[in-house]
Amino acid sequence: MLRSHPGLQAPEYYVPGLSADHVSERYGIPIEEIAKLGSAENPHGASPLAKQAVKEHLEALHLYPSWTADSLRQKIAAKYGFEYPQVICGSGETEILSLITRAFCPPGDKIQMPGPCFPIYHLFAEAEGRLPVLVHEATDRQSMAIDVDTYIEAIQSDTRVVYITNPHSPSGTWLEESEVRRIIESAPNSLVVLDEAYVHYSNTAGYISLAHEYENLVVLRTFSKAFGLAGLRIGFGIAHPQIIESLLAVKPTWNMGQLQIVGGIAALDDDQHVETTVKTIMNNRDYVQTRFDDLDRFRMISNSHSNFFLVEILDSEINSTEVFEGLLERGVVVKDGSVSFRGLEDRFLRCDVNFQQHMDRLVDGLADLP
């Protein structure tokens, strides 16, 4: 029998959040009564400007797009104060993660990441024959914040890539600029990847400007969250031109379609949609914290700077899978930490921030569990 390489002999797959359709069919709950809080999607939907641009370009589907998405790269560069050669676009930020693995970490070498983290970091590393190093000891289990000193100490001579996720997933915790700089400067022989997928919800501009200063840094962002284009699949990276050149060399030739390119360009002008989304998330993040104050079996990990947060299960008689299933029966979709995040074990759930009525469904569902 034909065999794949060793990293794919027993592959582990990413576990996405369940769809509302699945839950509705399984439990017979009207779809409008389901609180989908497991995928960090935009509650306001897609950017209206992006939707209009996509509609206007349907007649171009028979044409090959620019193989490097030139016009979108130029728009991103102008929006964030960079030059065109410093930008790469991908079919979602996740595609760029795979390019980074191939271009900057030889097989057998190490890719460092906080533990727990976005699973794609270690799944891609293992699938490509690289060694993921999850630094679980750097994560404080009470606050779920990253201890920078411990994280820096874990960097070794054969560590080729070092991940920083800010805000962090799954906790939503935040690193200040001085802490991010310390990690970058402590890894001069590694490519540091600053993943800012959720940065809009931090109420800051993020640290994308650091890509002007450090030649060993790439900053990643996505259109899936604040712009609401998860289904269109658009992400980008900003870095020194030499880094971008290497990523372009391993990129699939036409990785971005016509509609992705025009949709992304239009979304970058849709400040109103982003502002509305961010306001909704920030207001309801504060609101749900007040609701959790009434619960004694569950604790919301505070100070999230993202559109999700962790819930710790304080009741030793139940675990995260039991709570996850109990919430599904009540029409609430979250993420089971023991399934979705390596090292998070069975004491945590990750829950999205959404409209107030969905936050109420979540808290009421938790309170209703036997």
Task: Supply φ then ψ for residue 18, to 5 degrees.
Answer: -65, 150
Q: Quick check: bond before 170 cis, omega within 30? A: yes
**In this predicted model, what pLDDT tens digit does every residue of 145-203 receive, in sequence order?**
999 999 999 999 999 999 999 999 999 999 999 999 999 999 999 999 999 999 999 99
Give the pLDDT confidence score for residue 12 in this predicted structure.
87
Residue 47 host element (H or E)? none
Closest CA to 259 of 235, 232, 236: 232
Distance between CA atoms of residues 191 and 243, nearest Å: 9
Task: List the beta bridge partners of residue 219.
Answer: 194, 238
Give the pLDDT confidence score for residue 192 in this predicted structure.
98
> Tokens at residue 155, please?
């960097």
CA distances from residue 11 to 4, 77, 130, 131 in whole angstroms, order as listed: 10, 37, 13, 14
- Predicted confidence (pLDDT) at residue 1 exceeds the cutoff of 80: no
Q: Which residue has the tokens 């920078």?
A: 148
Distance between CA atoms of residues 282 and 301, nearest Å: 15
Question: What SS3 state is found at 27?
Answer: helix
> Tokens at residue 194, please?
């600053």
- Predicted confidence (pLDDT) at residue 288 exceeds the cutoff of 90: yes
pLDDT range class, residue 10, cuts 50, 70, 90: confident
- Predicted confidence (pLDDT) at residue 361 exceeds the cutoff of 80: yes
Domain positions in the chain are: 6-45+272-368, 60-269
- Predicted confidence (pLDDT) at residue 11 exceeds the cutoff of 90: no
Say whether 60-269 and 6-45+272-368 share the same fold. no
The CATH code for residues 60-269 is: 3.40.640.10
**In this predicted model, what pLDDT tens digit does every residue of 322-346 receive, in sequence order?**
999 999 999 999 999 999 999 999 9
The CATH code for residues 6-45+272-368 is: 3.90.1150.10
For the residues 243-254, what does the mean pLDDT come to? 97
Distance between CA atoms of residues 18 and 8, nearest Å: 25
Beta strands in the chain (DSSP E): 35-36, 87-90, 110-114, 131-135, 159-165, 191-195, 217-222, 235-239, 298-300, 308-313, 332-333, 335-336, 348-352
- Predicted confidence (pLDDT) at residue 6 exceeds the cutoff of 90: no
Dihedral over Cα of 215, 216, 218, 219: its sign: negative
**In this predicted model, what pLDDT tens digit does every residue of 26-52 receive, in sequence order?**
999 999 999 999 999 999 999 999 999
Whether this model's pTM surpasses 0.85: yes
**In this predicted model, what pLDDT tens digit does every residue of 199-213 receive, in sequence order?**
999 999 999 999 999
10 CA to centre of own chain: 25
Distance between CA atoms of residues 217 and 240, nearest Å: 8
CB atoms within 10 A of CB 80: 19
Closest CA to 198 of 44, 42, 357: 42
Identity of residue 368: D
